[in-house]
């Protein structure tokens, strides 16, 4: 299947109330296992990819190494591959464009692109992140691939386990701005309050992605809330490592 067709198919999988389920992987072996089990698409998790190679999350793993891993996954499975690309290893739009072109060339047809300042404090201002999203879209256009830009806001993640109600308005403002800038999806990790998720889904003009964690454990609940994409972040890796240790201890 061509990379163009994979990109088109991946976008079509995002259906409100019928979410595409992405059980995040970290290597080619895991990707193949899921595809053999019936997965229509695969997606990496940045934390998992880094941890599997002995690095911390937050772009500590070198970009060239990430590109090798992504290329190996893309060469191993013939389904759409979305990459958790964090902040694209850049702050300025010009370098964002350069790096996103590299990840597309490695085989990705979608990326998660977050608005936190990786390695710094707080979030990019909305106008800054809008310029960065436009830079991602420019990279996709230069490569001739309709890259699925899953624009992630870290508002809720940065707030921890507190009541997120007061953050909803800013999140919706960011989501609308990101959509206008060219994002295809809006990712709200750490938002698990069902009523707030429903509000985001009802308001957003683009598909909404949630991370299955905390109070959000049921896929059926995600369906009823109107999400279009359900992903699992570092959970699969953590579970696999727990299983590895338990099996070792049981020898």
pLDDT in tens, the chain (251 residues): 999 999 999 999 999 999 999 999 999 999 999 999 999 999 999 999 999 999 999 999 999 999 999 999 999 999 999 999 999 999 999 999 999 999 999 999 999 999 999 999 999 999 999 999 999 999 999 999 999 999 999 999 999 877 899 999 999 999 999 999 999 999 999 999 999 999 999 999 999 999 999 889 999 999 999 999 999 999 999 999 999 999 999 99
Q: What is the pTM of this model?
A: 0.96
Please give the pLDDT value at position 60.
Answer: 98
Please give the pLDDT value at position 161.
Answer: 75
196, HSE (Cβ side, Cα atoms, 13 Å) = 20
CA distances from 198 to 140, 141, 225 (A): 30, 32, 5
- Residue 233 tokens, joined: 């972040």
Number of domains in the chain: 1
Closest CA to 177 of 151, 212, 155, 209: 151
Beta-ladder partners of 83: 111
Spatial separation of the C-alpha atoms in residues 41 and 80, rounded to whole Å: 5
CATH code: domain of residue 83: 3.20.20.60
Helix (H, G, I), strand (E, B) or coil at 156: helix
Please give the pLDDT value at position 215.
Answer: 87
Spatial separation of the C-alpha atoms in residues 46 and 51, rounded to whole Å: 8
What's the domain range around 171? 3-249
Total length of the chain: 251
Closest CA to 63 of 53, 75, 78, 74: 53
Is residue 113 within 8 Å of residue 137, measured between CB atoms? Answer: no
Spatial separation of the C-alpha atoms in residues 56 and 43, rounded to whole Å: 19
């Amino acid at each position: 299947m061509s990379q163009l067709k994979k990109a088109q198919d991946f976008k079509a999988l995002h259906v409100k109330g019928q979410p595409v389920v992405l059980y995040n992987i970290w290597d080619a072996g895991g990707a193949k296992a899921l595809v053999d089990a019936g997965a229509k698409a695969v997606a990496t998790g940045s934390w998992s990819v880094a941890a599997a190679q002995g690095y911390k999350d937050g772009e500590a793993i070198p970009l060239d190494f990430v590109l090798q891993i992504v290329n190996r996954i893309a060469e191993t499975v013939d389904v759409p591959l979305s990459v958790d690309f964090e902040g694209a290893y850049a702050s300025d739009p010009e370098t964002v464009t350069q790096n996103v072109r590299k990840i597309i060339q490695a085989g990705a047809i979608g990326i998660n692109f977050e608005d936190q300042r990786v390695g710094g404090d707080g979030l990019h201002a909305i106008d800054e992140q809008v310029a960065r999203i436009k830079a991602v879209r420019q990279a996709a256009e230069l490569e001739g691939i309709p890259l699925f830009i899953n624009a992630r806001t870290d508002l809720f993640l940065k707030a921890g386990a507190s009541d997120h109600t007061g953050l909803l308005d800013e999140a919706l403002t960011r989501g609308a701005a990101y959509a206008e800038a060219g994002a295809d999806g809006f990712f709200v990790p750490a938002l698990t309050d069902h009523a707030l998720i429903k509000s985001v889904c009802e308001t957003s003009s683009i598909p909404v992605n949630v991370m299955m964690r905390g109070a959000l454990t049921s896929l059926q609940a995600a369906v009823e809330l109107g999400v279009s994409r359900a992903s699992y972040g570092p959970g699969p890796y953590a579970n696999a490592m727990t299983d590895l240790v338990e099996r070792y201890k049981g020898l």
